Amino acid sequence: MDYSNRTYATALTSTIGSVDFGQVMETSAGTVRKSVNETQFVLKWLTVDTPTFITDESVTLTWSGSHAECLNLMTGSFWTSGSMP
């Protein structure tokens, strides 16, 4: 599948209440991936449709990039615990 038309971002969990889930590919706060310590979460959206809560800075982004960059980021210990279920 081609993910080149999507933007991936991480944001502070303290701002998750400002996310309009109708503007992103996740459906609720319960469906986002969170960091191991739950201080950050991941969102994705079609690059041509940047969510208004991003442009007006209601949600504080900590990182943004491509699908491949996001996959690489998610391999770090901040996002993946050492134990597998």
Query: What number of other Cβ atoms are within 10 A of residue 24's Cβ?
Result: 20
Structure tokens at 66: 């491509």
Q: Are strands 6-12 and 40-46 parallel, antiparallel or unpaired?
A: antiparallel
In a domain, 53, yes or no: yes
Looking at the chain, the number of H-run helices and the number of E-run strands are: 2, 3
- CATH number for the domain that contains residue 17: 3.30.70
pTM tops 0.85: yes
Q: Can you give the residue range of the structural domain that contains 41? A: 6-74
Task: Give the bridge partners for 6, in sequence order.
Answer: 46
In a domain, 16, yes or no: yes
Average pLDDT over residues 10-22: 98
- Residue 85 confidence (pLDDT): 47
Give per-residue pLDDT as tens, 40-79.
999 999 999 999 999 999 999 999 999 999 999 999 999 9
How many domains, the chain? Answer: 1
In a domain, 79, yes or no: no
In a domain, 82, yes or no: no
pLDDT above 90 for 82: no
